[in-house]
């Protein structure tokens, strides 16, 4: 009986060159069921190969995504550190300028609000509703999202810029410099009560008398508009300048007036020269500062004063 469960494979040498009898080199007997399994194995190999290649591709993609996410996280941390630094610097600037931070969230990050107390004991009975107690137990001070902090910081920077612009305009319209710039100057009469050099009686002096050489340039002490020019029996040639804020300055006894009414002037601009017009005992500038239309001491507003300005009669 023939065996049909195996397939015999005989390997022969080159029979064309050897015409004599041929002996087989090897004989293999392969079970038939192996032949049946070969297509199945081939199909499984293909399937596993495709799945393996897909797994490898997914693994590569996952590694690339992980590296990208790690890089993004590092960049976010760097941005967050910069936001923290800018927030701290902004708080310092606002504190220095005496400005309110308007409770902006950008100012309070990264620090938490100043909240304190003893350790809470939620096991004790409370008169609060159960749902509210559960919410309180689960409440955690969550960090402010970075995008919101950046948005809040941007708004805060705009507010600070606007405040600085307002302060700059205010400072530009505040009389803060000496009206005469020269090394050979001295104050001969201060603001306040004095003995009149003409009558010998006590009188209130509304400004400063700054003595100097004839023709020394007189400077406007803040930005403003010339509201009045003219000649007066007491002040002689004078100029009145109205500033956009609440200040007005007066310059008297001028030798020459170099501006016109309604003319815009800038701080430091020459508007006249020291003279001896009106009731005067010598060449000097009478300088007044009015705040809300009330005379105040001009010397307290001068920020660039030096020790070279001497007082001949100081009662200050």
Residue 304: phi and psi, rounded to 5, are -105, 25
User: Rounded to whole angstroms, how far apart are CA atoms 138 and 120?
Assistant: 12
Cβ neighbours for 32, distance < 8 A, ≥ 6 positions apart: 4, 5, 6, 7
3-state secondary structure (DSSP) of residue 90: helix
- Residues 58-82 as b or e (16 or more Cβ within 10 Å = b): eeeeeeeeeeeeeeeeeeeeeebee
3-class SS of residue 39: helix
Residue 148 lies in a domain: no
Using the predicted structure, report yes or no on whether residue 12 has a pLDDT greater than 90: no
- The pLDDT value given to residue 170: 81
Cβ neighbour number for residue 52 with a 10 Å cutoff: 10
* Residues 243, 173 contacting (CB under 8 angstroms): yes
> Has residue 306 been placed in a domain?
yes
Of residues 94 and 112, more confidence is placed in 94
45-59, 90-104, 109-123, 210-224: which range is least confident on average?
Answer: 109-123
Note whether residue 163 is domain-resident: no
Query: How many other CB atoms are there within 10 angstroms of residue 215's CB atom?
Result: 13
Q: Is residue 219 part of a domain?
A: yes
Structure tokens at 188: 């001969």
278 burial via Cβ count (<10 Å: 0-12, 13-18, 19+): middle
Residue 239: which domain range? 186-311
In a domain, 234, yes or no: yes
pLDDT in tens, 100-121: 655 444 444 444 444 444 455 5
pLDDT per residue as tens digits for the range 256-273: 999 999 999 999 999 999
Residue 49, in any domain of the structure? no
* Domain membership flag for residue 293: yes
Of the two residues 111 and 88, the one the predictor is more confident about is 88
d(CA 65, CA 67): 5
pTM: 0.54
- Residue 202: CATH number of its domain: 2.70.70.10
Q: Which pLDDT band holds residue 18 (cuts at 50, 70, 90)?
A: low
Peptide bond into 110 cis (omega under 30): yes
Whether 179 is in a domain gets the answer no
Please tell me the total count of domains within the chain.
Answer: 1
């Amino acid at each position: 009986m023939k065996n049909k469960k195996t397939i015999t494979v005989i390997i022969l040498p080159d029979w064309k060159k050897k015409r004599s009898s041929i002996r087989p080199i090897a004989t293999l007997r392969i079970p038939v069921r192996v032949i049946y399994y070969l297509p199945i194995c081939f199909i499984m190999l293909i399937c596993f190969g495709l799945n393996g290649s897909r797994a490898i591709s997914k693994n590569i993609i996952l590694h690339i995504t992980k590296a990208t996410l790690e890089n993004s996280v590092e960049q976010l941390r760097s941005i967050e550190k910069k936001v923290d630094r800018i927030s701290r610097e902004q708080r310092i600037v606002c504190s220095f300028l005496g400005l309110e931070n308007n409770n902006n969230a950008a100012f309070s990050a990264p620090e938490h609000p100043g909240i304190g107390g003893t350790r809470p004991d939620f096991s004790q009975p409370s008169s609060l509703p159960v749902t509210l107690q559960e919410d309180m137990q689960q409440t955690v001070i969550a960090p402010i999202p970075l995008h919101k902090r950046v948005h809040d910081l941007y708004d805060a920077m705009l507010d600070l810029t606007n405040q600085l612009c307002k302060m700059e305009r205010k400072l530009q319209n505040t009389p803060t410099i000496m009206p005469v710039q020269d090394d050979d100057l001295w104050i001969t009469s201060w603001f306040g009560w004095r003995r009149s050099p003409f009558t010998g009686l006590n009188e209130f002096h509304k400004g400063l008398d700054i003595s100097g050489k004839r023709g020394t340039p007189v400077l406007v002490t803040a930005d403003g508009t010339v509201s009045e020019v003219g000649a007066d029996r007491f002040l002689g040639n004078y100029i009145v300048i109205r500033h956009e804020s609440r200040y007005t300055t007066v310059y008297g006894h001028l030798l020459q007036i170099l501006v016109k009414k309604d003319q815009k002037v800038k701080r430091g601009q020459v508007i006249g020269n020291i003279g001896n017009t009106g009731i005067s005992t010598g060449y000097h500038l009478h300088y007044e500062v009015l705040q809300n239309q009330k005379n105040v001491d001009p010397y307290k507003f001068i920020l660039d004063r030096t020790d070279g300005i001497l007082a001949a009669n100081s009662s200050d």
